[in-house]
A and B are shown apart, each in its own frame.
Chain A
Amino acid sequence: MGLIKHSEKLRTIAGIATVASLLLVFDVAFSAMAPAHLAFPLDERAPGEFPDAWIHGSKSAMDNDDPAVQVHAYNEHTYILRENKAINYEGAFMYLFFGNEVAMLIDQGSTSSPALFPLREVVDEIIDGWEERNGQEDIELIVANSHLHGDHYAAWNQFVDRPNTVMVGLTHEEVMAFWGIDSYPQQIVNFNLGGRELVVTGTPGHQGSELAIYDGWTDLLYTGDMFYRGRLYLEDWDAWVASIRKLRSFADQNPVVHLVNNHIEMTAKSGVDYPVGTTWQPSEPPMQMTLEMLDQAVEASFEIEEPGIYTYDDFLIYNQVPWSYTTDP
């Protein structure tokens, strides 16, 4: 006879069952209280909307009443931000993608000063609201960049002391290591943003570390500065040709609803751009682009043979034109 007497067997079994049951009840209760896991299915397109017009500066900076950063919710888990052109003529777009327990900010605008351009404050507010609506807390923020030009990371420093934040870095090597790209630019990698599947690949031409990012949940294809409604400044024509054709091929194999990017420099009039440095663009076309426009860029990649400025309906190609020639008289 051991510790357990015959008459105590039932009591012992009841004790074991009670402990196990209590733990199971707690487990189930905590699971029920835990926030629902967000799903980002790839087989159905998550809808989203663009604003009728973006903030686009003003005739006089003194008269500008717009916020420093325009926040637009494309959908509940996708935000597009725009820097006020009255603060910086680049009027850069930035993107905030949410997944479970994590968000990713792509690009940090063209102004460093938090007093002028409080990007960190704005992003924190968006994240707080998103956490509240989705029952998540203390989610991680990844601070990443489309490419390594100063007008895309000027406010990077605002995030370096932010808790629970991953700073991808501002060198080619750091960026590629983060995304897991060993063979730039050819490699196409998948990146899991908290259950939201992103596809990332190198698209040099405008800059040698540029990336295109495809979000299979929304079917948005983000092309950074290598393809947008404006002056496509290309430092490496051959690289850009390969990149734009790769994007076309990618779009053949994956559903793409819009191409999104970082700037608007064209007017609503076909083939006409605003002058470099414009801080008021009252007649802007939409930021998002279509696959037909991508086709036109691919056609251009076959037509253009020499360095120079080439005009198309929705973009201009500045093929290896020194900066000194790109400014307006």
Chain B
Amino acid sequence: MKLKKVICGLFLLFTTSIAQAHLLNMTNLHLDTTNPDAVTLRVKIDLGQSLLSPQDYWRTVNMGSREQWVNIEPSVNKLLDGLGIFVNGVAVAANLETWSLVAASLEAIENPLSPQMAELTFNLNNLGLESSTALANASIELRIAEWLEVPWPALLRIDSASRQLPVSRLLTSSDRSSRSVPLSADSAIAGSSFAAKLAMEFQGWIPGLSWVAIGFQHIIPWGLDHIVFVLGLFFLSTRLSTLFYQVSCFTVAHSLSLGLATLGMVSVPASIVEPLIAASIILIAVDNLCSPVLSRWRFVVVTLFGLLHGLGFASALSELMLPAENFYTALLMFNLGVEAGQIAVLVLAFAAVGWLRSWTAYTELVARPATVTIAGVGTYWLLKRAIF
């Protein structure tokens, strides 16, 4: 126990001196890729406490620029050897462009608590990329070699034209790589999985694809009440034409009200729309139980309910902020996604029970219990949304 304490104490004593020495003079790295023709890496480093001795640094600070270069060249080369910059995994070269050596006094340089920072700016103009678009879609990594000691930690900032915000990474003596940082925000979201890359490819091909996906999500899995309503239409009869006419009315109606509500021409509070959607589910299910064939008034009712459900989608869509520059495209794509979601529900329903439609007991053992359940779920939602 005593031995452990002594070892811990020695460890603390040793590391304390390191921490003190390197606390205030941490290294700053700024990789700026916003201008593809002038990619730069700016390094702010306490040169007199790292790659040069305080005396050499002080001597160099007081020289003319030509002599300064002669004095700092070995340190700069060492820094360049130890700083690995990789674009798409390929190492790129950096060249010193400008430098600024600042120090108040030799005493100040010698004191680790009074950092005297030098600033070195490197250009990285030969990135081996064909175009600025290639740079925007590239990923970049900065690594500090195991043998290179800089005042830790080193804060890396990466700016890129296709990101609104910079990216920050902290490099430490035990974690010396920034890891691969995508310069495009879209790539950052997508990550590196095959499925994500495929989605990004499609997104590039059809720019509104993400809105289709969002529309689809508003049916599966988020639009449970809309799913139940569509199933209510599905269980009316065994005839496909019956289903087709109902779904067509419903689709046209909710597209219309979604459009009008999104354009701000219609506005109904969710506190009214949501209980009414639940009521529409009950009514459609009860109608299934009372009338096995498609009556004319059913078209009217389904159309009215479609208008109602469109207002429900609009309420959800209003939280997503459609882009002003592609408003109509995004709205159309969202709607297409909703339709795709509805079709997916019907396909799944057919796959699950559709093949039983010719069975004589289908109505009694499948359609009726399912419809009663749909009515029960609608009743539960109505009570919950209107009362609780």
Contact = CB atoms under 8 A, between A and B. Distances in A.
A17 B282 CA distance: 12
Contacts of A116: 11-12, 15
Nearest to A154: B153
A60 interface: yes
A64 B15 contact: no
- The residue in A3, A87, A88 that gathers the most chain B C-beta atoms within 10 A of its C-beta is A3
B118 interface: no
Nearest to B108: A324
Given A27-B384, A323-B24, A323-B114, A171 B12 contact: no
A177 interface: yes
B252 to A, nearest CB: 27
Given A151-B24, A173-B166, A323-B113, A24 B292 contact: no
A307 to B, nearest CB: 14
A15 interface: yes
Contacts of A86: 12, 16
Given A2-B289, A150-B26, A170 B108 contact: no
Nearest to B103: A324
B170 A153 contact: yes
Contacts of A171: 157, 165-166, 168
B242 to A, nearest CB: 14
B44 to A, nearest CB: 12
B377 A20 contact: yes
Nearest to A84: B12
A89 interface: yes
Interface stretch (B243-251, B337-345, B367-375): B367-375
B23 interface: yes
Interface string B76-113: 00000000000000000000000000001101100101
A22 B342 CA distance: 27
Interface stretch (B122-130, B133-141, B172-180, B207-215): B172-180
A110 B18 CA distance: 12
A169 B168 CA distance: 6
Nearest to A174: B165
A17 B379 contact: yes
Contact of A20 (B16, B170, B172, B383): B383
B361 interface: no
Interface of B: 5-6, 9-13, 15-16, 19-20, 23-24, 26, 104-105, 107-108, 111, 113-116, 152-153, 155, 157, 164-168, 170, 172-175, 288-292, 363, 367-369, 371-373, 375-377, 379-380, 383-384
Given A20-B377, A324-B116, 7 more contacts: A2-B292, A16-B379, A19-B372, A61-B13, A62-B10, A112-B172, A173-B165
Interface of A: 2-4, 12, 15-20, 22-24, 27, 60-65, 86-90, 110-113, 116, 150-151, 153-154, 156-157, 160, 169-171, 173-174, 177, 276-277, 279, 322-324, 326-327
11 contacts: A3-B290, A3-B363, A4-B289, A4-B290, A20-B376, A23-B376, A62-B12, A112-B153, A116-B15, A169-B165, A324-B111
